[in-house]
Structure 1
Amino acid sequence: MLSAHSATAALPMPAFELGPRLLHEAFHRTLSPMLITDTAGRICHVNPAFEQATGYALEELRGRFPTVMHSKMQSSDFYRRMWTALLDEGHWQGEIWNRRKDGRLFREWLSISALNEGGGETTHFLGVYSGLSSPQLAEAQSEDYGGVDAVTGVLGRRAFIKATERLHASAGPLAFMALDITGFTDINEHHGLYCGDGLLRQVAHRCTQAAAQHGAECVVGRVGSDEFALAWAVGGLDGSDTPRAEIHRMAEQMRHAVATRYQLDSGRTVDVAVSVGLAVLSTPDGAAEPGGGALHLGAADALLQASAARQAPGGLETAVQHYERLEAERRLTRALREDIVAGRLEVVFQPKVRLNTSAPVGLEALCRWTGPDGKPVPPSVFIPLAERHGLIAELGDRVLESVLRSLARWNEGHLNTLPVAVNFSAAQFKRPDVVARVEAALARHRVPAHLVELELTESILLEDFDAAVTTLQGLRHLGLTLSIDDFGTGYSSLAYMRRLPVSCIKIDRSFVADLCTDDRTRHVVATVVSLAHRFGMHCVAEGVETFDQVQVLMELGCDQAQGYFFARPLDTEALAPILAGRTPWVEVVMAPSRPMEF
């Protein structure tokens, strides 16, 4: 017979000490969805509850980034704040929208904690989800909900289509207005989804009130996460200007009724701006066409997306204006394609300087284009245009060839050649023979590889991180310098920096612009600079325009900078005498564009 003492002594370990097998069992049996990632953010493991909640199997997720579930409901600032909290405090929690494998959106509460083995550096991150919406609730909150929208009380997408078809059949021609709340994602992030839902209810109420004031029979619906649509009867359209002018006036009044100040459920107030698309829908005999409602909604969706993409809150775009703009874009795209092939785009060079001495340390090649009307087209217009229409790789190739020709001429003329950074697009980077292509270009122009720096964006890392690193290593082996451009504007983690064979991190101009006014931005930049130095990299700040920005960057230890504060871009003709030593650099870098006190 065992005594109490002997029974206790017989236990192999204290009952409160859990073995690895029991912990493994707990991870797999818990009803809370969980995932574990490495420090770069790649998924290592998920439990069965996670598979059931998202529709993804472990085999589909392992090695991929959680961005596979990205809903586009959160901005890049949201993810920057998340990673900053994880790196600084070891944990983060908050509300987030994700997308199931079947495409449905769901809301969740996510808690992320840093894990380490043996109390050392962080090795993994653990994410635990709670409050996942059921598929039924997710469907009710999504844009495909077919009845009354659960959040706002107005019609959902499919119900709105059916109601529009009935109204069209009974009342004839309709005016259709699509309305998008500008910056709604930011409101959700800063004030919470509860306040966001309250705002949606208020907007829906304003839409309904505005429609009722005009006395016309009107249908109001919520057709997307932050998108509403209104359709109302406009009988008597005969093609004359007066009825259409009246429709435009009514739509403008409705827009003004919605675009105003709102009080959130938290007590805070926000000013809401909207983008609007307008279409006049009619048939020759006034009868409803089969599937006409779906056609109407498709037209309005296109108008809405076009209006929102213009980033012009408060804009009102009619169907005619929409198609005119599409035609103008087609003409511009055709001209861009022709000028790329003909080599008519100009390459200019902006100096990069060392912050503590203002001495030039390199140049960045920038592309400039004069449109068919003889006016300059901003890069913010023609670069996205080239990306949308499959021209960006050829454009990048032409710029690289132009830079290599300039470097070859400078070397042949025994000039004081500086390294030149060239933007290298994801389309160029993802070519299977990218390393061989670059090597051949260097050999063709007899340019030493150390004079060329390739600037790549974070987007190259999102699809297959390991393959991207292998390609980067191949380019680095050629002798090229590599840098990550616009750092912090994508969805990647600061933690992957240590694995990248790059020499430089370029801090995006959006950070520099807020550096002197936002403490959080300053903190993020300080973190990036510190980590870059820890991993043997240097930092370049882009878009520096003020003396105060220079001072803060120097305080944070940033190494180099470029921007109009130091020098504007120069063409090859202006640059040649400087590289030849006939014009001092000080006359360029110490230009009148910067304050005299520096």
Structure 2
Amino acid sequence: MDSTDKLYELVLSSSLDMILSSSRDPLALCDEQLCFRQINLPFTQLTRHLPDALRGKPFLQLTPDGAVGCVEMEQAAQQGRDWQGVMQLRRGDGRLLSARVELKRIAPNLSHSALWLLWLLPPETEQNPTGNIQHDSLTGLPNRALFLDRVDQALIAAARVKKSVALLLIGVDRFVLINDGLGREVGDLVLKEIGQRLSATIRRSDTLARLDGDMFGAVMQIASTGDSVLVAEKILHALGRPIRVDKRDVTISVSIGISIFPEDGGECQRLLSHAESAMRHQKKQGGNHYQFFAAEMNQAAKTRIEMERGIRQALISGEFVVYYQPKVSLGDNAVVGAEALVRWQRPGMGLIPPGDFIPVAEEAGLVGGIGDFVLRRSCQQAAEWLGKGYRPLRISVNVTASQFRDPQLLHKVEQALADSGLPPQYLELEITESMLVGNVEEVIRKLTTFRDMGIHISIDDFGTGYSSLSYLSRFPITTLKIDRAFIQDMVGNPKMAEITNAIIGLSRGLGLEVVAEGAESLEHIDILRGQSCDLVQGFFYSRPLPPDEFERILSRGFLYDNGT
């Protein structure tokens, strides 16, 4: 860090200290993982937590299990955008506190990816740009604070006359793709239209609200659960028509979670939590439908929360490890590369594969931290092997969509290379086809920057997304990985073999290296060798291996089958 950078750090640190110490509002400074770095006196007075007790701990540890808003807040932080919403927090004396939480990204310092300023306000002081403290400024609908009050009133009224109440949480499916692909202005117009269509589906005696982001809520008194089904189906029908924005049609779908009073709970927070569990369950099923809460979802939600807590602890405790699966040249069976694959060595539970924890990490906004670790560790390991005199090896590291959107990605890659001493030509970043859809010029700019550094770019799982080879030719990529589904079906399906042959031929015509993923049998190898495929990755040669076992392969330099 040069003298200018040090001065910048000093000025930023001094400014933040002054803001926290002089403000009468409860403020906290958090790092990129939303772990506390500093809190001021009003924050301590409001939450009853001492600074030393919170320092280094995640903010979301203050929230009760299943609290509404946790997932949205983490996703916003992962995507580098500001967020606000009402949340339940647990004070130091054990009592629950309802507060409006505002999360704002501030100037990133030069030694960390980002800093976040966290501001707590009582819900009743919520203010939006229109000056209305009870309604959302974008849609004009009631906001979360008013909605919670209306839910409480509905429950009291229903209990008096022994009626039922339905609470619906409505989440837009994959809304982040609209924001990222079409821009936030289009996203806001879509949300306004959704609000108008939803308003037309409910009775004047019911309450519809925009809770935060792309989540809406509705509460209504019902005579039977069938009434809530009718409303849910009306909502799905109303939002099934494309939304016209700026002379283009935007197609959306929503997932609806439903909880019923008194069967699913007797108070607002429990009903909200259960409706959210049902909504997220429906999203995992593909969305575009409604789902009633069931007791097993509550258990699933608890399991997910425990998994999320475990992931947070694993990032702190260093429980993640990187395995390496060889990439073998079909010309001479030489090991020329490897894909870095994360595993979780969870105490008392053994080695956990990524399929069991990566989906939870993505939903909780923690996948970026895992990806950063894999990037750093892989560069360190590759540099170590290179320093021992082994054949130069290109290490492939997967980049998730949220990582790719991170404005600090370039800095993180540069830092990983600088810290490890690995030459850039021995690093390959693997991205998926879906990341190329949206702001094409921005994607090209980012990929070109990496290529200018000498880093290789690979398209993973080709054939499962939206792209064609002609479309891919617009991007500065170097490698194409054929999806394992094509490889595994080649033997018994001649048409699939013809498809892989065509992909390999056209790729070579574009000057792209081709990797066949998922080769597990000698028949696969023979077909791919006959098609002049460059590299193969799969169980025929080797499963993913820990570093010490992989190094034994490097010492030989060649593989034939099953790691021999």
Sort the TM-score into its range (normalised by shorter chain).
0.5 to 0.7
Separation of aligned partners in 1, 2:11 and 2:350:
36
| Contact 1:97 1:107 (8 Å CA) reproduced | yes
Corresponding residue number in structure 2 for 1:459: 369
Corresponding residue number in structure 2 for 1:211: 202
Structure 2, unpaired ranges of 5+: 21-26, 39-57, 61-71, 86-98, 308-322, 359-366, 485-499, 501-514, 535-564
Greater CA radius of gyration, 1 or 2? Answer: 1
Corresponding residue number in structure 2 for 1:46: 12
Between 218-227 and 513-522, the greater mean CA deviation after superposition: 513-522
Separation of aligned partners in 2, 1:49 and 1:510:
41
Q: How do residues 75-114 of structure 1 correspond to structure 2 at under 5 angstroms?
A: 96-97=81-82, 104-105=101-102
CA drift at 1:151: 3.6
1:370-409 CA-partner distances (Å, limit 9, x unpaired): xxxxxxxxxxxxx9xx979989961469x9xxxxxxxxxx
Which residue identity does 2:418 align to in structure 1? Answer: R
Which residue identity does 1:278 align to in structure 2? Answer: I
Separation of aligned partners in 1, 2:325 and 2:435:
22
Separation of aligned partners in 2, 1:263 and 1:516:
18
Compared with structure 1, are the counterparts of its residues 272 and 396 closer, same or farther at alpha carbon in structure 2 (3 Å cutoff)? Answer: closer
Q: How do residues 235-314 of structure 1 correspond to structure 2 at under 5 angstroms?
A: 235=223, 243-264=224-245, 270-282=250-262, 289=266, 292-308=267-283, 310=284, 312-314=286-288
Which residue identity does 1:274 align to in structure 2? Answer: V
CA drift at 1:125: 12
CA drift at 1:486: 1.4
Compared with structure 1, are the counterparts of its residues 185 and 107 closer, same or farther at alpha carbon in structure 2 (3 Å cutoff)? Answer: farther
Separation of aligned partners in 2, 1:74 and 1:154:
22
Compared with structure 1, are the counterparts of its residues 141 and 524 closer, same or farther at alpha carbon in structure 2 (3 Å cutoff)? Answer: same
Corresponding residue number in structure 2 for 1:394: 351
Corresponding residue number in structure 2 for 1:494: 410
Separation of aligned partners in 1, 2:324 and 2:154:
58
Identity %: 11
TM-score using structure 2 length: 0.52
CA drift at 1:177: 1.3
Separation of aligned partners in 1, 2:397 and 2:350:
17
1:24-76 CA-partner distances (Å, limit 9, x unpaired): 9xxxxxxxxxxx799xxx97751655563874399949xxxxx9999556698
Compared with structure 1, are the counterparts of its residues 271 and 75 closer, same or farther at alpha carbon in structure 2 (3 Å cutoff)? Answer: farther
Which residue identity does 2:229 align to in structure 1? Answer: H
| Contact 1:71 1:105 (8 Å CA) reproduced | no
Q: How do residues 305-324 of structure 1 correspond to structure 2 at under 5 angstroms?
A: 305-308=280-283, 310=284, 312-320=286-294, 323=297
Corresponding residue number in structure 1 for 2:157: 170
Q: How do residues 387-536 of structure 1 correspond to structure 2 at under 5 angstroms?
A: 394-395=351-352, 459-460=369-370, 462=372, 483-487=395-399, 489=401, 490=403, 491=406, 492-495=408-411, 496-497=413-414, 498-501=417-420, 502=422, 504-511=426-433, 514=436, 518=440, 520-531=442-453, 533=454
1:452-471 CA-partner distances (Å, limit 9, x unpaired): xxxxx963575899999878
CA drift at 1:133: 11
1:321-377 CA-partner distances (Å, limit 9, x unpaired): 9739949x99xx9xxxxxxxxxxxxx99885669xx99975576899xxxxxxxxxx
Corresponding residue number in structure 1 for 2:519: 570
Pick one of 153, 156, 178 that aligns with 2:140. Answer: 153
Corresponding residue number in structure 2 for 1:587: 530
Which residue identity does 2:209 align to in structure 1? Answer: G
Separation of aligned partners in 2, 1:141 and 1:390:
46
Compared with structure 1, are the counterparts of its residues 486 and 252 closer, same or farther at alpha carbon in structure 2 (3 Å cutoff)? Answer: same
Which residue identity does 1:271 align to in structure 2? Answer: T
Q: How do residues 190-229 of structure 1 correspond to structure 2 at under 5 angstroms?
A: 193=184, 196-212=187-203, 217-229=205-217
Which residue identity does 1:525 align to in structure 2? Answer: L
Aligned length: 403
Separation of aligned partners in 2, 1:151 and 1:555:
37
Separation of aligned partners in 2, 1:186 and 1:304:
19
CA drift at 1:507: 3.3
Which residue identity does 1:97 align to in structure 2? Answer: D
CA drift at 1:545: 4.3
Separation of aligned partners in 2, 1:184 and 1:469:
34
Compared with structure 1, are the counterparts of its residues 259 and 365 closer, same or farther at alpha carbon in structure 2 (3 Å cutoff)? Answer: same
Corresponding residue number in structure 2 for 1:56: 29
Which residue identity does 2:278 align to in structure 1? Answer: L
Compared with structure 1, are the counterparts of its residues 518 and 139 closer, same or farther at alpha carbon in structure 2 (3 Å cutoff)? Answer: same
CA drift at 1:540: 4.5
Separation of aligned partners in 2, 1:163 and 1:154:
13
| Contact 1:512 1:541 (8 Å CA) reproduced | no
Corresponding residue number in structure 2 for 1:16: none
Compared with structure 1, are the counterparts of its residues 551 and 525 closer, same or farther at alpha carbon in structure 2 (3 Å cutoff)? Answer: same
Compared with structure 1, are the counterparts of its residues 260 and 387 closer, same or farther at alpha carbon in structure 2 (3 Å cutoff)? Answer: farther
The SS at the match of 2:446 is helix
| Contact 1:505 1:538 (8 Å CA) reproduced | yes
| Contact 2:463 2:483 (8 Å CA) reproduced | yes
The SS at the match of 1:250 is helix
CA drift at 1:187: 3.9
CA drift at 1:228: 1.0
Pick one of 154, 171, 174 that aligns with 1:180. Answer: 171
| Contact 2:181 2:437 (8 Å CA) reproduced | no
Compared with structure 1, are the counterparts of its residues 60 and 465 closer, same or farther at alpha carbon in structure 2 (3 Å cutoff)? Answer: farther
Compared with structure 1, are the counterparts of its residues 261 and 135 closer, same or farther at alpha carbon in structure 2 (3 Å cutoff)? Answer: farther
Compared with structure 1, are the counterparts of its residues 477 and 140 closer, same or farther at alpha carbon in structure 2 (3 Å cutoff)? Answer: farther
| Contact 1:175 1:280 (8 Å CA) reproduced | yes
Separation of aligned partners in 1, 2:156 and 2:468:
64
TM-score using structure 1 length: 0.50
Compared with structure 1, are the counterparts of its residues 539 and 273 closer, same or farther at alpha carbon in structure 2 (3 Å cutoff)? Answer: closer
CA drift at 1:210: 0.6
Separation of aligned partners in 1, 2:126 and 2:385:
47
Corresponding residue number in structure 2 for 1:542: 460
The SS at the match of 2:287 is coil
Between 132-141 and 269-278, the greater mean CA deviation after superposition: 132-141
CA drift at 1:160: 1.9
Q: Provide the aligned C-alpha RMSD in A.
A: 6.2
Structure 1, unpaired ranges of 5+: 1-20, 25-35, 62-66, 80-95, 115-122, 236-242, 334-346, 368-382, 400-423, 426-456, 592-598
Separation of aligned partners in 2, 1:392 and 1:528:
38
CA drift at 1:149: 3.3
Which residue identity does 2:432 align to in structure 1? Answer: S
1:119-152 CA-partner distances (Å, limit 9, x unpaired): xxxx9999999xx99979994469xx98433443
Which residue identity does 1:543 align to in structure 2? Answer: D
| Contact 1:261 1:272 (8 Å CA) reproduced | yes
